[in-house]
A = this chain, B = another copy of it.
């Protein structure tokens, strides 16, 4: 297929796309704070309806999911997963221009959500617009799932996907984002780790006591927590929960081959984060580092809180202590099973008094790097970006890919307009307009090849 006209249309109508994206970004949709959610769901629905999609705003126990579908020239079906919610904009004072007043300067558009995830969503619409304008129709059947809880752990999404598996049936799925690396090379991400995020809480008394009075005789919630945590992982990073590693599937020879081909980002991480003692285990980079970064499950303390935390000394013996702990999981670990093993382990270690609240779970999920749709995404990226494509068999983060992979059996690829300087979740979130244009073109080329293939 010849994409000259499509590409030309995309370039010619770029300012229209940016204007529509600015309107979408001007609508706050902060899931954590419940701000602007209904309005944004309506706006997204209207944007799709205006393009001939049949739209449903599906209520959930949390924020509504926008579901939409439209027919196309071929009877193959492509599913787009996106989300309309955004992270809170705070701290507001660190924004150069207000978070919900999208602003273009020096080739970038700045706004909360412009990269995560409204810019990616807009790029799908712009690619579809180009197809319709040039060929008279969409190239294939298109389905959209646009949820409103991605930034608060997608609690309603898995149930929606499992219950609507028939309706959502598709041949392939384009994930919510895509990105280039530091050298503007497109990256294809083929897997996400799972997660089991828990809060551990100990309460030893009704209220804090004076440490002089109580230090020798009262149980101390802070100490109970420290001792309990210490049983979870040793200082060599080995997780000590019995059976924790038993379902871990090691990376395949193909995975290791892909890891070996990845650019080494270790030196950049070391400087960017100012790691005072280098990486764990004395690692310096290289394939072993790449493998460790994504194919090894973790147990991370995300937060600790107990007693007096202000400046100076207060002689208090805390009645309560808690820790946020996140386990990043790899195939085929099951987050519910990990939570059960954690409970059993704490009980066995004498920490029945440590309460576990599971705050979020997701399964790891992967797409076969040799799947034809993945190869198509790589080939079209190479054509559009005119660069070699980085293929990452797995990344360290998590996301709700598993229900799509499990219920719909679709390959999942990443396509979009992200880049390492996007300041996602941070003040001055932005997209680079030239990368936005490339992301639209890549989406269009992938759509065209998929519909034909």
Interface residues of A, Cβ cutoff 8 Å to B: 32, 152-153, 193, 195, 197, 199, 203-207, 209-220, 222-223, 225-227, 229-230, 233, 235, 269, 273-280, 283, 289, 292-294, 296, 298, 300-309, 312-319, 321, 323-324, 326, 328, 350, 353, 359-360, 395-398
Contact = CB atoms under 8 A, between A and B. Distances in A.
A396 B214 CA distance: 8
Q: Is the interface of A mostly helix, strand, loop or mixed?
A: mixed
A229 B321 CA distance: 15
Contact of A283 (B197, B217, B396): B217
Contacts of A218: 269, 273, 275, 279-280
Contacts of A296: 216
Nearest to A32: B312
A304 to B, nearest CB: 4
Given A206-B274, A302-B318, A313 B397 contact: no
Given A219-B280, A277-B204, A321 B304 contact: yes
Contact of A226 (B215, B217, B230, B269): B230
Nearest to A271: B206
28 contacts: A32-B312, A193-B212, A195-B212, A197-B313, A203-B276, A210-B396, A213-B293, A215-B298, A215-B326, A216-B298, A219-B276, A222-B302, A223-B233, A223-B235, A223-B300, A226-B230, A226-B304, A230-B230, A277-B353, A300-B317, A301-B307, A302-B313, A303-B316, A304-B307, A305-B305, A313-B359, A313-B360, A314-B324
Contacts of A153: 313
B225 A304 contact: yes
Contacts of A277: 204, 219, 353
B326 A313 contact: yes
Contacts of A283: 217
Given A276-B203, A277-B204, A280-B219, A211 B315 contact: no
Given A210-B397, A216-B294, A315 B304 contact: no
A215 B328 contact: yes
Contacts of A316: 302-303
A302 B275 contact: no
A394 to B, nearest CB: 11
A314 B303 contact: yes
B229 A273 contact: no
A146 to B, nearest CB: 22
A302 B308 contact: yes
A304 B322 CA distance: 9
Given A212-B328, A213-B397, A303 B294 contact: no
A233 B276 CA distance: 27
A197 B294 CA distance: 41
B303 A205 contact: no
Contacts of A274: 205-207
Contacts of A276: 203-205, 219, 353
Given A230-B230, A302-B314, A397-B210, A292 B205 contact: no
